[in-house]
Amino acid sequence: MISINDIYERKTRLSYYLYREARSVMPYGVSSNYRYWEPYPIYLVKGKGSRVWDVDGNEYIDFNMGFGVLEVGHSHPRIVEEVRRAVEDSTILGFEYEKSVELAKIICNRYNVDMVRFSSTGTEATMHAIRIARAYTKRKKIIKFEGHYHGSHDQLLINVNPMRLESRVPTSPGIPEETLSNTLVADWNDYEGFERLVRVHGNDVAAVIMEPVAMNMGLIPADLDFLKGVFDLARDYGFLVIFDEVKTGGKFYSGASGYYGLKPDLIILAKAIAGGLPLSVVAGRRKVMSVIGPEKVAHGGTFNANPLSVKASIFTLTELLTQNNMYYAYRLNSLLSKGYEDIADDLDIDLSVSMWGTSGTIYFAEKVPKNYKEFVRIDQKPWYVYFLNMLAHGIIPMADYDEQWTISIQHTEEDITRHLEVAQMVLKKLKEDYKL
């Protein structure tokens, strides 16, 4: 009997040879840890619309979409044209680009914020947001939630994906304990636990930061009452609320803050807002953002608001990620999510589905978890078999078991149908082999 690893290796021989070459000059042969998987990753050469192609010539319908960046799809022709024209005027100008003012106004209006500052990546933006919060409140401590990811800077790399529960766990070697001494960890969707933590430390807390829809343990939306309780405690104790909307900002027209009808003190945007180019935003209330400036809070970056990203973002937010287009992607996401639910019912397997905006995910569990502690108890072995089987049949379902799919405005109903056809076949085989 041929194993799925054998099938995968036969279809991706050139990726394997490139991986062997790459790992001699790049750790694990990749530029980001999140691009590696066992037995080795695939290496892509191009993307167009809803599809990508690897070095072996295999074509995949892509539902990872750059980890949520490509809400507009791959190489959208109108983005390509905007970038081509922008290159003719310079890729970077050094001083402030005139169009950055136009983009700032668009973001303020769409996301209900007063002021913005631009950076290049989500990691930079969350790092700056923490500094701003500490300067504004003149306090040191930050509360984050277990299982939430806020980029790869030291201050928040704690309890992102710990295997040891009930303890404070740095997410990487090389992070001094003293760097994390002012970072407190709470459980997602657990108001009582959060309240107990605030009662002890609240007067020393500068801010609480969260993914308002947790998208690094699959996809776990916040309970609205929980969010309102967090906002009430923040007001009572005088600390800020930061929404890390790096992922959520492009999956609902006005982000999670608009969806929930809440106004955090600071919002971080990135990924989908620039149509595939690097751009991030720290945005928020005027009184909080006003601490930034010369001889005040440091914020800089040579590539901040570079012309290519700014022009692409203006076009993305005004012409492509419109309410109509985003509703189209949402409708496709509903079809995909409902399709997985129907498959689970037909096969009588323990598989739950979670969706929000234009993204969704599956759990090989009877119900969607409420927080990281429930998520980490799910057996992930069936997921990896599912993933390799989906790849072998031309579907990239998502990036990893703790990620989610993204539906772009260039996906079609035919793409959804094919995804579900393959999933039906793969999950049926999984039931037989793993007794799901």
Q: Is the dihedral of CA 421, 2, 364, 394 positive or negative?
A: negative
CA distances from 425 to 340, 366, 396, 430 (A): 12, 20, 15, 9
The span from the CA of 210 to the CA of 219, in Å, is 13
The span from the CA of 423 to the CA of 412, in Å, is 17
The span from the CA of 159 to the CA of 125, in Å, is 20
The span from the CA of 343 to the CA of 355, in Å, is 16
186: CB partners within 8 A, 6+ apart: 143, 144, 145, 146, 193, 194, 197, 208
β-strands 205-210, 240-245: how paired?
parallel
Closest Cα to residue 393, out of 422, 424, 431?
422
Closest Cα to residue 190, out of 374, 49, 329, 410?
374
CA distances from 50 to 36, 90, 218, 279 (A): 22, 29, 21, 22
Catalytic residues: 149, 244, 271
Q: Supply 356's token pair.
A: 């929000």
